[in-house]
Structure 1
């Protein structure tokens, strides 16, 4: 018996999705109306750069026309893992009012499947140390804490 088709789609973000993505990124604990988001020139430039780069994907999880989640994947070439690319996942968000229903799992599993089909040898992600619930979520997906990360704000 096959599982029923999911009503949720995962696809590359379009320019029309940009306000919804920025709304997701602007607040983790509440739903922000995408119509209230100001899309600045800096956001426009960043979005254009991401979508023009074949090593970057800004992906959205949708239900019909509604963006429910997003993440960014950067494919990094390297000499480790036999020369296989690695996928770096960042900016993972699910709408606050839709959490707890498995959407994050769908989003991440489909992103990992995309990386696997591309031939990546590893998927890695970063998460702010304060996001302990997110850490439990990632560990539940099979991710392990293997490295400490460092950042230098410029």
Structure 2
């Protein structure tokens, strides 16, 4: 039980409450606390079914199979893509398109608020965000 003082003006039990008009020792609430979780040190018994998988229906070739021939355009790594991304983030065209998008969202009642117009840090971060040049697939 949580106990504390309550204002006499709200509860009106005593015409001349002591001190600052507070009635002490009244029940204010209850604190419920659950015991800490005991995760233990073992996963317990896991049978063969627990380690199996659910097959994809209907039966047949799955979307990614080592036995299937590749289909579609072949991805290429032309190089210089990271530089194009970094150079385009803080360009005047990108800033203008971003401002137009924010204005359109504002007109629809979902505006993002004020925009940070200095995107140079994002441009710099793009140069360090990739571990390798991205692979591209020709549009078609």
| TM-score bucket of the superposed structures, by smaller chain | under 0.3
Larger-Rg structure: 2
TM-score normalized by structure 2? 0.20
Would you tell me which structure has more helix in proportion to its own residues? 1
TM-score normalized by structure 1? 0.18
